[in-house]
Structure 1
């Protein structure tokens, strides 16, 4: 297969369709936003060509691009902080500087890429990997790259600052933007009450992000079929008793991946190492009263599960530990991250985490986010739903992301040290339940 190449055709700054009112020019972030890193996350959607279309592909691409740019402008009026620029760790200057839109063309068909998705090649579709784009965009919080394949298929890659948005906030933005692009008169509105629920404070130099260092790490994709998940579930239930509880798909898959990863570390170092798994939780629905899904910003916090002894790496023990630790977090901690006591609760949580890392130098840490049940495959700009979507982490090692597929399976995106990944992706126990980077049908 020849090397896939993309070429940028245009770069455009997109301003809001209406100016931001003077009384909204200064936007205060929440405390959780304040603790979040000022980096861009990305999500890329792949759309097949319309085989029934009679329009010239270039004309059709131009039509879609115009709709996307007009709807971005319209959406920036509702999501006005995204058109601004970060002033400091807790403030956005809503100056209507705008978002950034890039058009590009790829010299290969979409099917070539989806036959064996390559995460190095995926870089070509991201708006943030082009130095000239990042220089011209001048601190833009929202960038979009729209790429046409030579078959007429397209990608839409969205890059959004993590400073003001978690995955649930991104979904609110996508819902509102796609509704505008499809011509709905009243697209979804965001709720910007985050800073009133958890006001920012003076905390210089502190971060809520959890970074696992890695000089050279790589990403790999695995898919766990619905039938394999069912097998795992029956296995765990038979060990714990049906009356205990039914383990979730997320618990089962994370337990299996974690067990395999720990085995790889042992084979590499010669001995078992204590290990921890941090799993992010969306706090919106866990608070009392629950927050609306449309509350914009960062409302996630991780709970940690620890394994001190190798004997505790049995699948059913890991699943039980995850469930017990999560229930404890939800029942006793999640609702504290708001109001008057929110600052104290967060500072205590950060202190606990810092002590763990300070006192446990050999602890091997993994970080997980689950996007299962999020309607990512419902993303429709007016020309159908995506054949595939993905989000690639370029910054941190030892991460696990889970998301649904369209056929009931679960897709895993995992980053590990290069040496560990070379062992992990050939691990016999892993290959018994997961496929390595299978092709995607267009």
Structure 2
């Protein structure tokens, strides 16, 4: 079946719709959850994730029984993640708090007449993926939307299941989403929030004062010319090949770079290759900038638990202003140098103040819009390990949206033996990028 035909017709039928509330009421003293200064720096958007589960012959649960398990365990999980069952106040500006009123999480069940594999192989930018999310909540928050989290269970024709979750970016980052889903999955398998296997996954909340003032947001980075056509492609890099890249970087650095991570070297390889492709297409080198989110939980003086809910990230910008700086080794070195600047954070307020300051100097303002590349890494998060009682997912997709910007989204492969990358570039640049011999030498070939 052609993807084009899928887009033109309705694929799914809604079976049921209900709101899952916490199994016990939230105490009165927790009825208001103030968003932190860090949270308020984020856009009014959702993080949309789909987990694809095959029809597991070894699982004795029926489709209806699986849904019952998901609902009952979600209800229990919401007693711990109590803000997730609340609502944002309706306001023309960004809401500064969550009303923890236990109204619950929207939970939709649908039947889809397509095979799971059809969706799993999509790039993440296919509009058809939006049908898998409750109420089409995929990206931007509308002014009237008050839900923090929505869930939709999609039953495919093959017997597989697609579990689609959207979480507001105002309440947390990707690490928060991973923590929430891990807690939910463990509760589903062990049946209690008090089980010894579940207790270490309990969320950690940091109470913030009500923010009645506006923090200057991150500098807006202009999108590329809207007349440009952007395309998305997927590439898989096995860990064995990434080890070769790491060895290459260490060797060329002559001892100045020690133990680079696979995300650091892969991000550098992608960025370097994309900048080179743009230079070929344009006929000359243009200053370029890599924007990369860094998880800050372990960079506080007193490290925060990874189960800390909120937006504990910082935006890092690595500039390449001259053509001789666009080498794999130099980009890795710059990433590591910039990461060192994030050490020693003493408080949430300090981190928020650092994040609110402009990261773009005057010398870069003329070029940063057209030469920007955004990288989001979901590697290391537990998405491919989420077992609700019928096995781990065979694939995970982040439903990204084409925004007319260059970017890379990194996720662990289902088997954990590599990194799956979604690359978004201008169409003419992509033609050069996807034929780069060095980059392809580290890719998985089928």
Change (3 A) 1:298 1:124: same
Question: Is 1:402 paired with 2:414?
Answer: no
Q: Would the aligned equivalents of 2:137 and 2:166 in 1 still touch at CA under 8 Å?
A: no
Change (3 A) 1:115 1:20: closer
Q: After alignment, is 5-14 or 422-431 more displaced? A: 422-431
Deviations 1:241-262 (CA, angstroms, capped at 9, x unpaired): 2474132211211111111111
Q: Would the aligned equivalents of 2:76 and 2:193 in 1 still touch at CA under 8 Å?
A: no
Q: Would the aligned equivalents of 1:37 and 1:207 in 2 still touch at CA under 8 Å?
A: no
Shift of 1:191: 1.4
Match of 1:168 in 2: 175
Q: After alignment, is 423-432 or 407-416 more displaced? A: 423-432
**One of 207, 227, 245 as aligned partner of 2:217:** 207
Match of 1:86 in 2: 88
Could you say what secondary structure the match of 1:293 adopts?
A: coil
Q: Would the aligned equivalents of 1:12 and 1:101 in 2 still touch at CA under 8 Å?
A: yes
Question: Within 5 Å, which residues of 2 pair with 1:243-392?
Answer: 244-327=257-340, 329-331=341-343, 335=345, 338-339=348-349, 341-342=350-351, 344-347=353-356, 350-353=357-360, 355=362, 358=365, 360=367, 364-392=371-399
Match of 1:433 in 2: 442
What is the TM-score with the length of structure 1 in the denominator? Answer: 0.86
Question: Is 1:222 paired with 2:235?
Answer: yes
Q: After alignment, is 25-34 or 223-232 more displaced? A: 223-232
Change (3 A) 1:192 1:52: closer
Could you say what secondary structure the match of 1:351 adopts?
A: coil
C-alpha distance in 1 between matches for 2:34 and 2:256: 48
Question: Within 5 Å, which residues of 2 pair with 1:106-255?
Answer: 106-114=112-120, 119-120=125-126, 121-127=128-134, 129=136, 138-182=145-189, 183-186=191-194, 187=198, 188-195=201-208, 200=211, 202-203=213-214, 206-208=216-218, 213-214=223-224, 215=226, 216-242=229-255, 244-255=257-268
Q: Would the aligned equivalents of 1:194 and 1:295 in 2 still touch at CA under 8 Å?
A: no
What is the TM-score with the length of structure 2 in the denominator? Answer: 0.85
Aligned-pair Cα RMSD in Å? 2.8
Match of 1:11 in 2: 17
Question: Is 1:104 paired with 2:114?
Answer: no
Shift of 1:344: 4.1
Deviations 1:83-112 (CA, angstroms, capped at 9, x unpaired): 222225321112222211111122123234
C-alpha distance in 1 between matches for 2:156 and 2:308: 36
Shift of 1:207: 2.9
Unaligned regions of 5+ residues in structure 2, if any? Answer: none
Change (3 A) 1:374 1:52: closer
Q: Would the aligned equivalents of 1:336 and 1:345 in 2 still touch at CA under 8 Å?
A: no
Q: Would the aligned equivalents of 2:74 and 2:184 in 1 still touch at CA under 8 Å?
A: yes
Could you say what secondary structure the match of 1:272 adopts?
A: coil
C-alpha distance in 2 between matches for 1:97 and 1:354: 45
Q: Would the aligned equivalents of 2:218 and 2:358 in 1 still touch at CA under 8 Å?
A: no
Could you say what secondary structure the match of 1:177 adopts?
A: helix
Change (3 A) 1:383 1:365: same
Could you say what secondary structure the match of 2:129 adopts?
A: helix
C-alpha distance in 1 between matches for 2:12 and 2:431: 29
Number of aligned residue pairs: 421
**One of 40, 62, 71 as aligned partner of 2:46:** 40
Question: Higher helix fraction: Structure 1 or Structure 2?
Answer: 1
Could you say what secondary structure the match of 2:75 adopts?
A: helix
Q: Would the aligned equivalents of 1:273 and 1:362 in 2 still touch at CA under 8 Å?
A: no
Question: Is 1:393 paired with 2:400?
Answer: yes
